[in-house]
Amino acid sequence: MKPFNIEITSISEGPEELTYQLPINAKIIKQVPGKDRPDYFIAELEKPIVWVNKSNKENVEVSHLILCTKKKSQQITKNMKDVIVAIAYVLHDSVLIESTLNFKKCKYIAVGKTNALKKWGLF
**pLDDT score at 1:** 86
Average pLDDT in the 108-123 region?
Answer: 82
Question: Into how many domains does the chain fold?
Answer: 1
Q: 73-79 — which CB contacts under 8 Å span 24+ positions?
A: 75/39, 76/28, 76/39, 76/41, 76/114, 77/116, 78/2, 78/4, 78/116, 79/116
State pTM to two decimals.
0.93
Q: Please report whether residue 91 resides in a domain.
A: yes
pLDDT confidence of residue 119: 64
At 18-68, the pLDDT tens digits run: 999 999 999 999 999 999 999 999 999 999 999 999 889 999 999 999 999
73: domain range?
Answer: 4-117
Does residue 122 belong to any structural domain of this protein? no
| Banded pLDDT at 118 (limits 50, 70, 90) | confident
- pLDDT of 59-102, one tens digit each? 999 999 999 999 989 999 999 999 999 999 999 999 999 999 99
Q: Would you say residue 123 lies in a domain?
A: no
Strand-pairing partners, residue 51, are 60
